[in-house]
Structure 1
Amino acid sequence: MNRDKLLKKAKRENLWKDEREKLINIRASSIAGTYSMILLIVLIIYNWCTGAPKDSLIGILYIHMGVYNFFNISKEQKILRIASIVMVIAGFIYFIDPLVRRISL
Structure 2
Amino acid sequence: MIGNQMGGARDTLRIFVAGYRKYTSTPDMLGLENDVTKAARRQTVVYGVLPVYEGTDPAIPTEIKMHAVGGDGYRLDCTVCNRPKGGCNCSERTSGGPLSRTR
What TM-score comes out, normalization by structure 1 length? 0.34
What TM-score comes out, normalization by structure 2 length? 0.35
Structure showing greater Rg: 1
Relative to its length, the structure with more helix (as a share) is 1
